[in-house]
Structure 1
């Protein structure tokens, strides 16, 4: 029985990569559903799948996380994992789809939940912005903020895995891209530019034409402007994802006895004593 992947917004559910990719359960926002209904929905997921991994972006409003923790507390269940991610909206949606792909494999719920942190290292998420004057989620200098007020200024910003920003047309700099084969996903806002497809994709060695998807509703707020084109480069193939996750040493959580990879349990968040935070080696990437 596959582990259920649940999300806090429909924008986090991208079209499946193949017919075998499981769907994700969309949990209604706290303002649209009473607490007892949220508890009942989670009970149904647990009854059907056994374990539930909920992906909750760190940018979600505080009541969203509070509701999830209240549901888990009322159910007194150790079979619900709350996975937080700092990725921007499109990158978070890519991460969710990768977890959905892996949910259909023979990975245990604990490994699947703790794999989110590993997979995030291999998602190159960014955007082309018409202004960075209100960008506060990616470190940029004061000079860039001031330049963000200039008419016509465009910036390419990489949020992760390593933050970076360049001003387009004024520098020979380029965004540091992946050193392994990826595909590129685009989501267009109000900014008219083809730079991600015409310049970024060839520079990063992206195979084929970038795919496009509607802009997530949370993207303008995350990036500080609606004048943007969001992008994410990612590993698309399930065999590669599976090999990446299954090659990491597994541990057993000393608190809840779940299997895990890395330094922290995905279900109870208990740390693994004596183990540093794993940083995936770039030369080990496919």
Structure 2
């Protein structure tokens, strides 16, 4: 069975991008369930899929995060990966969907989990805000804070890949991707056409879709008066080529194939070169 891609809320399980997109496993309300039920839910996913990759945002309630780590510890399993990228909630949902696309391909669980770190670099995440007074995840100058108190002010904020803030207007746009992307938009309690009418054309978005605003977005952006957006790579062949072009290595701790410098399942990083050189070669046995 393909590796399971799990999210911590139904609003992070976006509709399929294409016919190859696998369903998301939704671990909703983990902190409200009895502990044994939460453990059983994750154990069932492991039994059915072999490995589970759970994505969650920096705005996920601490009680949910603690429960995730508790469940993983109680299972004593290196088959459950917990991945919290430096992205706002809508972009975490997009990244989870990209992994759901790739889960249908011939990629091992370690490579698939590592792909999440790789694909983060190709996501442009931001929002249009009515106020930046409570925004603490992107640097905000004193002038912008002062403008937050002026009626009608709106701010375009880029959180990833490089933080940027502008006063939203037809002439002011945020720096966008230098490659073809689609844009996903989620509207909160803010009325504006700046994202769809100004930013999307300036970024030359190849397609535009809308979805509901994740529940965690208001906390992440510091206001419910927000329109969140994410520019991303939508096509499975492009995603697969990006991942397949990276050299695979074997995690020295858990033995799983990975790409990059960290195993998402056991969190091990490569040992120092001197240690690799000094380590004696392990003899092959009949069992491999």
TM norm structure 2: 0.91
Please, what is the CA RMSD of the aligned residues?
1.5
Confirm or deny that 1:240 pairs with 2:235: no
Q: Is the 8 A contact 2:247 2:259 kept in 1?
A: yes
- 1:19 Cα shift? 2.7
Give the number of the structure whose alpha-carbon radius of gyration is greater. 2
**Helix, strand or coil: the match of 2:84?**
strand
- 1:12 Cα shift? 0.9
Query: How far apart, in 2, do the equivalents of 1:100 and 1:41 lie?
Result: 19
**Helix, strand or coil: the match of 2:137?**
coil
Query: How far apart, in 1, do the equivalents of 2:272 and 2:246 lie?
Result: 16
The corresponding residue for 1:228 is 226
Mark the runs of 5 or more structure 1 residues left unpaired by the alignment. 276-286
Query: How far apart, in 1, do the equivalents of 2:272 and 2:102 lie?
Result: 28
The corresponding residue for 2:191 is 192
Query: How far apart, in 2, do the equivalents of 1:246 and 1:14 lie?
Result: 24
Query: How far apart, in 2, do the equivalents of 1:139 and 1:274 lie?
Result: 35
Deviations 1:32-61 (A, max 9, x none): 211100111111111111111111212212
The corresponding residue for 1:280 is none
For 1:266-285, what aligned pairs fall within 5 Å after superposition? Answer: 266-273=264-271
Deviations 1:180-216 (A, max 9, x none): 10001111111111111111111111124x2110111
- 1:231 Cα shift? 0.6
Q: Is the 8 A contact 1:59 1:86 kept in 2?
A: no
Deviations 1:110-132 (A, max 9, x none): 01111111111111110111111
The number of equivalent residue pairs is 273
- 1:142 Cα shift? 2.1
Confirm or deny that 1:134 pairs with 2:134: yes
Query: How far apart, in 2, do the equivalents of 1:46 and 1:188 lie?
Result: 35
Confirm or deny that 1:213 pairs with 2:211: yes
- 1:178 Cα shift? 0.4
Query: How far apart, in 1, do the equivalents of 2:173 and 2:56 lie?
Result: 31
**Helix, strand or coil: the match of 1:265?**
coil
For 1:44-63, what aligned pairs fall within 5 Å after superposition? Answer: 44-63=44-63
